[in-house]
Structure 1
Amino acid sequence: MNNFDERTENLKEYVKGLGARADGQELYLRHKEFIEKITPQEAFDVFKSILDEGAEPHDILIYLDKAINAFFKSLSDYKWKKPQNDNYIDDMLKENKALVEKTDEIKILLKEPDLKVKKEKILEKLLELESFNAHYIKKENILFPYMEKAAPRFEGLSVMWALHDEVREQLKTAIQTTKDESSNEQQINISIARLFFGILGVKKKEELILIPAACEVLSEKDWYEMHRQSLEYDFPFINKDKETFMESLSHDMSAAGVFRTETGEMNFEEILMVFNALPVDLTFVDEFNKVRYFSNSKDRIFPRSPAVIGRSVNNCHPPQSVHIVEEIIQSFREGKEDSAKFWINIKGRLILIQYFALRDAACKYRGVLEVSQDITDIKNIDGERRLLTWEK
């Protein structure tokens, strides 16, 4: 066993011991020399190794913070260097700083003696925190894919995605508790304390582990592309002047090509216009479970970034729903099924999500087409409309 493997195994033994509720002090002393020198890369190696043994991301969350607290001094002392193009990182750090300012405002409001006034003021601030979801989506859709392509250890990012989902639920609970007329002061305080522990804990893990590790494996070109893609998203709590993009050279070159079939012909630019004009989100996943294409309509329901191209479809979904995706693909691959559909409510809109098996002329499985559509207005259609009426 080389030194690298020895360190990883010792650190893994320590983390798994925490999960098994072994004596914390004895455990720490046994692995002290490794704990006090852990690096951000090794932290990813440890959790990736535990996932490889069959643990689920949500299982790790139970003891994750205990481990990070033990690693804190070593990670906080770790020296890392920003890339020259640090715009993406700078935006992340500014958003985190603004987040702390928002949570500090809520901490002050917790001292308000009038419960009704306290609820009203805190609810307003909690609703503002909903916009911070854009910070997590930019990580999930841009940073995570680039890191996963850089090294296998970053499959462990599924643990951080699980943390995002946990924070989303904590925020939802805090809002519901504050809105509830029957909730008392203690219930409000507890829900907000859990939210702060989660949301500020993610911030700490970003700055101690995620960003330093990313800076060591991603290229200047990667950081440039990530920043460019991030400008299509919101920037919670900070003022951001979004740049105007030129279309890529590859798109300009492909526009001259012509696609011909017995039903007609279009050039690639026209095909792209048609796909993007459809009132649905399209995502194509090939037979190797890699994302190959997605449409980019202006009202896309589920955010996508070019970073997902080539990414395993398993890594494009929240950890708790990955098993459903795997079951669909396996059923399609084995020829047992040809389609699957779900419908969910998002912010008061009814979203239909359909999966279709793609097979070639020889009936060989070639991939999956995911189609998502907002059917709220369609579901409410009644009677007939025979005259032209422009929608406003």
Structure 2
Amino acid sequence: MSVDEKRVERLIEYTKSLLDGGDGKALYDQYCSDIEHVKPSEVFDIFYHLLQEGRKPKSILLCLDKVINVFYKSLINYAWEKPSEDDFINNLLAENAALVMKIEAIKKIIKLENCVENRVLLLEAISELKLFNEHYLKKENILFPYLEKRMPKFQGLSIMWSLHDRVRQEIRETIEILGNVTSSEKDINQKLGMLIFSMLGVLKKEELILIPVASEVLEHTEWNAMYKQSFEYDFPFIEKPEVFLPDAVTSFSVKDGIYKTETGSLTYEQLESLFSAIPVDLTFIDAQDKVRYFSRSQERIFPRSTAVLGRDVRQCHPPESVDKVLEIIEAFKSGAREKAVFWINYKAHKVWIQYFALRDQAGVYIGTLEVSQIVDEIISIKGEKRLM
């Protein structure tokens, strides 16, 4: 066993002891030498081990900030080099810098004499923070899949996804408390403090751990692909860079052949146009629970990037909801269910989400189809509107 492997084992012991309520100072003294030499990549080893033991991301969050703060000195001094194709990273870092400026502006409003009287300014500023969700989506839908394909330990990214979800929730709660005229100045300040702490905490973990590790393990072609895919998302708080047209979803062309069935035939060009035109989002997961296809409708509801192709469905959902998704898929595989339906409110729209079990002619399960559709117009229909 190498020196690094031994250090990681001891750091795992240290982190587990903290999680289990051990004395922080005594533990630091015991593992001080290891803590002072921890590397960003080893942080992934530590938390991946905890997940493998069956600990949930939500429980790990209870001591995550404490652990990262202890590791801070070593992580901040770690030397790493940006890849030559670093525009994707540069944009993430620029968005982070812009977020810090937004938060500093919010802090100035908070310092005004009466926070309650300035709730309108605060409500406007906090509502603007919702735009930063695009930054989190680029990490979840582009960067995370590339890392997960590299090695198992990057399943630990589910912990950062949980942090994103916590920020999203805290933004909603802060907007709610600011919009409530009965909220006290104390309540408002407390909620604002929690939100700012969470957002800056994610930023710190991203810049001290995630980005340095990604820079070490990903290659030129991957950075180039991620940069192109990032243009399917917004660039919060910074000027949008030069636009790249997305690569075609399929490599087939008309001369490759014609898709034939008993009910008709289509060229591949027609088939692709058909999937792009129908007003629903389609995502196909194969029998091994891997994402194999998604449609590019004209106004896609939920962002999808080609980085997700080949990704395990377990990494495509927030940790808090993935168990429900797996439950549905297992029911499809066993034949206990053929369909599951949900509806949610999303960006001022009512979205209808359906999961269908797909089977071959012999009835054998071959995958799951997710279909999402905005149904505002449908549920508002009254009377009739005939063709003639």
Shift in Å at residue 250 of structure 1?
6.0
Cα distance, 1:114 vs structure 2: 3.9
Q: How does 1:353-368 map to 2 (within 5 A)?
A: 353-368=353-368
Q: Which shifted more, 109-118 or 250-259?
A: 250-259
1:359 and 1:25 mapped to 2: Cα distance? 57
The corresponding residue for 1:35 is 35
Distance 1:32 1:107 in 2: 35
Query: 1:291: how far off?
Result: 0.2
1:179 and 1:81, CA in 2 relative to 1: closer, same or farther beyond 3 A?
same
For the residue of structure 1 that corresponds to 2:9, the secondary structure is helix
- The 1:239/1:255 distance shift into structure 2, 3 A limit, reads farther
Counterparts of 1:337-356 in structure 2 under 5 Å?
A: 337-356=337-356
The aligned counterpart of 2:52 is 52
Q: Report the equivalent of 2:257.
A: 257
Q: Distance in 2 between matches of 1:62 and 1:254?
A: 55
One-letter code aligned to 1:12: I
1:387 deviates by: 5.4
Deviation at 1:249, TM superposition (A): 10
d(CA) in 2 for partners of 1:47, 1:247: 35
> 1:24 matched to which residue of 2?
24
Displacement of 1:251: 2.9
Equivalent residue for 1:227? 227
Which residue number corresponds to residue 317 of structure 1?
A: 317
Structure 1 alignment gaps of length 5 or more: none
Contact 2:253–2:268 (8 Å) recurs in 1 = no
**Which position in structure 2 is the counterpart of 1:180?**
180
Matched residues in 2 for 1:54 and 1:138: separation? 27
- The code of the aligned residue for 2:159 comes to V
Partner of residue 371, structure 2: 371
- TM-score, scaled to structure 2: 0.97
TM-superposed CA distance for 1:323, in Å, is: 0.3
Post-superposition CA distance 1:40-71 (Å, at most 9, x none): 11000000000000011111100000000000
Q: CA deviation at 1:346?
A: 1.5
- Residue 281 of structure 2: aligned partner: 281
What residue identity is the alignment partner of 2:339? S
Give the deviation of 1:378 after TM superposition. 0.6
Cα distance change of structure 1 residues 202 and 255 upon mapping to structure 2, 3 Å threshold: farther
Equivalent residue number for residue 215 of structure 2 = 215
Give the letter aligned to residue 363 of structure 1.
Answer: G
Aligned twin of 1:199: 199
Measure the CA separation in 2 of the matches of 1:303 and 1:102.
25
Q: Answer yes or no: is the 8 Å Cα contact 1:255–1:269 preserved in 2.
A: no
Residue 39 of structure 2 contacts residue 75 of structure 2 at CA under 8 Å; is this kept in 1?
A: yes
- 8 Å Cα contact 2:355-2:369 kept in structure 1: yes
Q: Which residue of 1 aligns with 2:128?
A: 128
Which stretch of the first structure deviates more once superposed, 367-376 or 217-226? Answer: 367-376
Change (3 A) 1:244 1:10: closer
Once the two structures are superposed, residues 349-392 of structure 1 have per-residue CA deviations (whole angstroms, 9 ceiling, x without a partner) of 2111111111101111101001111112111111101257xxxx
Identical columns (%): 49
Q: Hey, what's the Cα distance between the residues in 2 that align with 1:252 and 1:285? A: 20
Distance 1:347 1:248, change over 3 A: closer
Show the counterpart of 1:156: 156
Count of residues paired in the alignment: 388
Q: In the aligned structure 2, how far is the partner of 1:145 from the partner of 1:22? A: 35
> For residues 87 and 386 of structure 2, what CA distance do their matches in structure 1 show?
52
Question: Are 2:15 and 1:10 aligned?
Answer: no
Listed one character per residue, the Cα deviations across residues 142-183 of structure 1 (whole Å, up to 9, x for unaligned) are: 000000001111000000000000000111111111111111
Q: What is the identity, as a one-letter code, of the residue corresponding to 1:322?
A: V
Whether the 8 Å contact between 1:163 and 1:202 is mirrored in structure 2 is yes
Larger displacement relative to structure 2 (334-343 or 255-264)? 255-264
Q: What 5-or-longer segments of structure 2 have no aligned partner?
A: none
Provide the secondary structure at the position in 2 that maps to 1:357: strand
Counterpart of 1:299 in structure 2 is 299
Tell me: CA distance 1:246–1:341, structure 2 relative to 1, closer, same or farther (3 Å). closer
